[in-house]
């Protein structure tokens, strides 16, 4: 069976941070996750991640999804793969893909294309290469008329070799059994005193095995990040690519300033995305919506013809025809049913807002079930927390909640209940009733004149 080893042991000193480089994010996902998903899309699901610097953070991120191997000292890419030998020896009959955890744009097409060539040419190793205008820093692919003869690192290369523009992507296919054998033959007699995985190519040839190079038609696969400037470039590249994909699908953008859409987001045709909109993982938006400006949506299902203006929504469902904003916060586990209107300075948490209900301004609805065609007046608060426990409020269909009503949970309002403005509701109210809780208003005439000792 085919396997993958992903190298994620490096620190990335130039990032100036205390986390392993492959955990730095591109469009909201760690670079390591991009590499893993490329493997999975190419049907290579048996994966071992080699961790090193702050390896426990890699463990925490993977939370047992994949096998790992620990590289306790950073002695080079060859040494990193050696740590995965027990994983390789579990089954040496197939092929092993080796990838760098900090080059996120490796794609399933390249992985599959390289594997076909690897098998067709009966290679022990097939290195994936790309042609770059500026090959600086990469290992150069050295070819003779018989094919690839080796890979030379920047620091070990002659001026003539430095002129070569075909470079090593850091991704390879190996025959698993041959990889184990070749790793045993690596040494560290080079400019950096490291075990170079790249040396497997020349060693294989000297052993009479075949080695090949697969030149990827997509040079972007090689992009990696050594510092934060590179990481910004990766983000910009991925961001533009995602936006272009949505435009091809009929999503509108008049200006892409500040728009960040993660890879997994789906958007229906005719929807317009306005500047400053961040759409995160798990979000699915229907057709003909208007999203933004200045909006964050994370893991929400949104129907058609929805407008979300200058608002945030997390882990919730928003049905068709809903109008939200400006300045609304929809917190997790909420459901806003079709045709509802959520106005400015409203927070909704773990609640259902029924069809065509209006929650227009300055309201907190938490842990509540609100029916259909309800009107919730300005300043209403569901008092859902008594300092120890959270309780629910239930508001029936067609209720009219007067301004500044406090609903002390747990409490249940039946159908078509009215609450008078300023009422504090402390017990259940039956269908069609009015709840009113007010002191008797007194008017003290001439009060101001007496207080300020003035005349009219
Ligand atoms: C490596 C290749 C180079 C190629 C380039 C592509 C070697 C000797 N050189 O160089 O030919 O053009 O990648 O990006 O392989 N890592 C470990 N443990 C280590 C060293 C590295 O896990 O001891 C991991 C890093 O986290 C990274 C990957 O291996 O994910 C590549 O390491 P890096 O140091 O960036 O290799 P380069 O010098 O860039
Ligand atoms: Ca690198």
The string of pLDDT tens digits covering residues 391-403 is 999 999 999 999 9
Q: What is the mean pLDDT of residues 193-215?
A: 97
Whose atoms come closest to the Cα of 153: which ligand? 1
- Are the C-beta atoms of residues 102 and 12 closer than 8 Å to each other? yes
How many Å apart are CA 170 and CA 200, to the nearest integer?
A: 12
User: 273: Cβ–Cβ under 8 A, 6 or more apart, which residues?
Assistant: 246, 251, 252, 253, 259, 261, 267, 279, 291, 292
Task: State the distance from the centre of ligand 1 to the C-alpha of 170, rounded, in angstroms.
Answer: 7
Q: What is the mean pLDDT of residues 255-284?
A: 98
Q: What is the mean pLDDT of residues 207-211?
A: 97
**Smallest CA separation from ligand 1 atom 6, residue:** 170
Closest atom of ligand 1 relative to the 196 alpha carbon: 8
Task: State the distance from the centre of ligand 2 to the C-alpha of 188, rounded, in angstroms.
Answer: 18
How many Å apart are CA 417 and CA 259, to the nearest integer?
A: 43
Closest atom of ligand 1 relative to the 224 alpha carbon: 14
Q: What is the mean pLDDT of residues 54-64?
A: 97
Confidence of residue 10 (pLDDT cuts 50, 70, 90): confident
Task: State the distance from the centre of ligand 1 to the C-alpha of 37, rounded, in angstroms.
Answer: 20
Question: What is the second-level CATH architecture of the domain 228-435?
Answer: 3 Solenoid (2.160)
- Are the C-beta atoms of residues 87 and 67 closer than 8 Å to each other? yes
Q: What is the mean pLDDT of residues 64-83?
A: 97
pLDDT at residue 12 tops 90: no
Written as six digits, the tokens of 316 are: 């919730």
151 in contact with ligand 1, CB cutoff 6 A: yes
**Smallest CA separation from ligand 1 atom 25, residue:** 10
12 in contact with ligand 1, CB cutoff 6 A: no
Helix (H, G, I), strand (E, B) or coil at 1: coil
Written as six digits, the tokens of 18 are: 């205390």
- For the chain, what is the mean pLDDT? 97
How far from chain centre, in Å, is Cα 128? Answer: 27
pLDDT at 392: 97
pLDDT at 132: 95
Q: What percent of the chain has pLDDT over 90?
A: 97
153 in contact with ligand 1, CB cutoff 6 A: yes
83 in contact with ligand 1, CB cutoff 6 A: no
Closest atom of ligand 1 relative to the 78 alpha carbon: 15
Q: What is the mean pLDDT of residues 318-323?
A: 98
pLDDT at 169: 97
Helix (H, G, I), strand (E, B) or coil at 392: coil
Whose atoms come closest to the Cα of 35: which ligand? 1
Q: What is the mean pLDDT of residues 289-307?
A: 98
pLDDT (tens digit per residue) in 360-381: 999 999 999 999 999 999 999 9
pLDDT at 29: 97
Is residue 361 annotated as a catalytic residue, yes or no?
Answer: yes
Closest atom of ligand 1 relative to the 226 alpha carbon: 35
pLDDT at 297: 98
225 in contact with ligand 1, CB cutoff 6 A: no
User: CATH topology of 3-222 equal to that of 228-435?
Assistant: no
Task: State the distance from the centre of ligand 1 to the C-alpha of 333, rounded, in angstroms.
Answer: 43
52 in contact with ligand 1, CB cutoff 6 A: yes
pLDDT at residue 194 tops 90: yes
pLDDT at 11: 83
Confidence of residue 289 (pLDDT cuts 50, 70, 90): very high
- Domains of the chain by residue range: 3-222, 228-435
pLDDT at 1: 86
- CA distance to 72, 102, 407, per residue, from 171 (Å): 22, 11, 61
101 in contact with ligand 1, CB cutoff 6 A: yes
End-to-end CA distance of the chain: 97
Q: What is the mean pLDDT of residues 214-224?
A: 94
Domain 3-222: CATH class, spelled out: alpha beta
Closest atom of ligand 1 relative to the 101 alpha carbon: 30
- Which helix (H) or strand (E) covers residue 449, if one does? helix 447-451
pLDDT (tens digit per residue) in 20-39: 999 999 999 999 999 999 99
- Are the C-beta atoms of residues 348 and 331 closer than 8 Å to each other? yes
pLDDT (tens digit per residue) in 114-151: 999 999 999 999 999 999 999 999 999 999 999 999 99
Helix (H, G, I), strand (E, B) or coil at 23: helix
Task: State the distance from the centre of ligand 1 to the C-alpha of 295, rounded, in angstroms.
Answer: 38
How many Å apart are CA 357 and CA 418, to the nearest integer?
A: 15
211 in contact with ligand 1, CB cutoff 6 A: no
Give the pTM. Answer: 0.92
Q: What are phi and psi of 53, to 5 degrees?
A: -55, 125
Q: What is the mean pLDDT of residues 316-339?
A: 98
Written as six digits, the tokens of 450 are: 């007496």
């Amino acid at each position: 069976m085919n396997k993958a080893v992903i190298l994620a042991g490096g620190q990335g000193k130039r990032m100036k941070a205390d986390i392993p480089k492959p955990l730095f994010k591109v469009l909201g996902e760690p670079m390591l996750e991009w590499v893993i998903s490329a493997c999975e899309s190419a049907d290579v699901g048996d994966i071992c991640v080699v961790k090193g610097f702050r390896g426990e953070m890699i463990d925490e991120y993977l939370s047992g999804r994949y096998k790992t191997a620990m590289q306790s000292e950073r002695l080079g890419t060859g040494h990193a793969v050696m740590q995965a030998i027990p994983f390789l020896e579990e089954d040496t009959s197939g092929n092993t893909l080796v990838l760098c955890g900090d080059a996120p744009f490796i794609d399933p097409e390249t992985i599959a294309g390289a594997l076909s060539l690897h098998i067709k040419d009966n290679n022990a190793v097939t290195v994936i290469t790309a042609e770059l205008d500026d090959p600086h820093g990469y290992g150069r692919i050295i070819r003779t008329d018989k094919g690839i003869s080796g890979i030379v690192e920047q620091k070990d290369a002659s001026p003539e070799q430095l002129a070569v523009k075909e470079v090593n992507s850091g991704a390879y296919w190996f025959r698993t059994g041959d990889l184990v054998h070749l790793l045993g033959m690596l040494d560290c007699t080079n400019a950096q005193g490291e075990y170079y995985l790249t040396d497997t190519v020349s060693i294989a040839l000297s052993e009479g095995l075949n080695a090949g190079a697969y030149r990827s038609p997509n040079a972007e696969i090689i992009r990696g990040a050594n510092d934060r400037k590179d990481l910004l470039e990766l983000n910009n590249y991925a961001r533009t690519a995602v936006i272009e994909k949505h435009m091809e699908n009929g999503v509108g953008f008049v200006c892409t300033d500040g728009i960040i859409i993660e890879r997994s987001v789906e958007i229906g045709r005719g929807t317009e995305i306005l500047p400053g909109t961040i759409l995160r993982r798990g979000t699915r938006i229907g057709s003909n919506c208007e999203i933004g400006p200045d909006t964050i949506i994370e893991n929400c299902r949104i129907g058609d013809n929805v407008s979300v203006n200058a608002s945030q929504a997390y882990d919730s469902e928003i049905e068709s025809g809903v109008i939200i904003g400006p300045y609304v916060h929809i917190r997790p586990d909420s459901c806003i049913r079709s045709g509802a209107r959520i106005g400015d300075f409203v927070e909704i948490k773990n609640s259902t807002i029924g069809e065509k209900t209006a929650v227009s301004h300055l309201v907190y609805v938490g842990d509540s079930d609100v029916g259909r065609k309800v009107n919730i007046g300005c300043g209403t608060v569901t008092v859902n927390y008594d300092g120890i426990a959270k309780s629910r409020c239930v508001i029936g269909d067609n209720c009219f909640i007067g301004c500044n009503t406090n609903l002390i949970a747990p409490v249940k309002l039946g159908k078509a209940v009215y609450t008078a403005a300023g009422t504090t509701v402390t017990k259940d109210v039956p269908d069609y009733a009015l709840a009113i809780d007010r002191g008797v208003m007194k008017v003290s005439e001439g009060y101001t004149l007496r207080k300020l000792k003035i005349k009219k």
